[in-house]
Amino acid sequence: MPGRKSKPSGADMRGKTVMITGFTAGVGRAAAFALAAQGAELVLVGRNADKGRAVVEAIREETGCEKVEMLVGDLASQEEVRRIAGEFLSTERPLHVLFNNAGVVMQKRLLTRDGLETTFAVNHLAYFLLTNLLLERLRASAPARVVCTASDAHQVFSKGGLDFDDLQAEGRYKTFEVYGRSKLANILFTRELARRESESGVTANSFHPGFVGSDFAKNNGRFANIVMRLLSPFARSPEKGAETGVYLCNSAEVADVSGGYFCDQKPLEPADWAKRPEDAERLWRVSEELTRLT
């Protein structure tokens, strides 16, 4: 059945190329549909090819947007992140928006094939590495935007800031503390990226989507599934959760805003420990080492 043609709703994103990671469910899926409806050309990054293809077909059918493609890869692997970036760069297409959204919550401490703690690797280092690999293309496409899905979990679960002596959670692993620290890292990374790119035409902002019902608990055992079911009546829809991310991708109101943290399409002050420039710079240096970008 051919997709129905639809006029872009809201902002006009025609002629803009947007890459979104973590698009098969939750905030990323909702954002992909919204941006496609606005005419964006989408490059969607996910690790599950079958689920990804189903979402791509649904986007084409429901929005009439045919310029939707998928890159398959596991962002827990730095080799895969490099391959994904290389595949996109080889097309010589512009990149106007990079929406770093993929994320995990792990009940147990597991290591990636690179020997890194999985939550930190996926939720922060994948953002960091992919963005840096695509940065020259973003600059060449300016004005361009980097948008990162963070969370107010950094307020509750990372009090005091990052423990640079134990970024891999070897000393103590508590699920939501590790997750909260990864979301703190998202904010620090975004702020440092904004500082470094202040003259390049590339802006960088992060946002809190609110508590969104998602697939986070599916791989984390029975207890996590029970918790998610109990909390689900209080969760906002993925579409509501994605609104601020989409706003940061396309709104003229924030075209010149960089280094901000947003919720419900408004600036929000993050925790004091998310605003330390020395921590942001140190995290950048450590991340360069962990991703072998130095």
Residue 211's pLDDT is what? 79
Residue 214's pLDDT is what? 58
Q: What is the DSSP string of 22-51?
A: S-SSHHHHHHHHHHHHTTPEEEEEES-HHH
Q: Considering only CA atoms, which of 44, 21, 15 is closest in space to residue 103?
A: 21
Q: Any long-range contacts for 213-216 (C-beta under 8 Å, 24+ apart)? A: 213/26, 213/237, 213/238, 214/25, 214/26, 214/27, 214/238, 215/25, 215/26, 216/103, 216/104, 216/105
Residue 215's pLDDT is what? 54
Instruction: Give average pLDDT by consecutive 10-residue segment, the chain, 294 residues.
Output: 42 96 97 98 98 98 96 98 98 98 96 98 98 98 98 93 97 95 98 98 97 58 49 72 97 98 97 98 98 92
Residue type present at position 35: L
Domain boundaries, the chain: 17-209+241-289
Residue type present at position 289: E
173 is catalytic: no
Query: Among 127, 173, 179, 247, which one carries the catalytic annotation?
Result: 179
Give, as one character, the DSSP assignment of residue 268. Answer: -
Rounded distance, CA 70 to CA 53, Å?
8
End-to-end CA distance of the chain: 50
Residue 229's pLDDT is what? 53
Name the 3-class secondary structure at 84.
Answer: helix
Instruction: Identify the CATH number of the domain defined by range 17-209+241-289.
Output: 3.40.50.720
Question: Residue 233 contacts by C-beta under 8 Å, 6 or more apart in sequence?
Answer: none
Alpha helices for the chain (secondary structure H): 26-37, 49-63, 78-90, 118-120, 126-140, 153-157, 175-196, 221-231, 238-250, 277-290
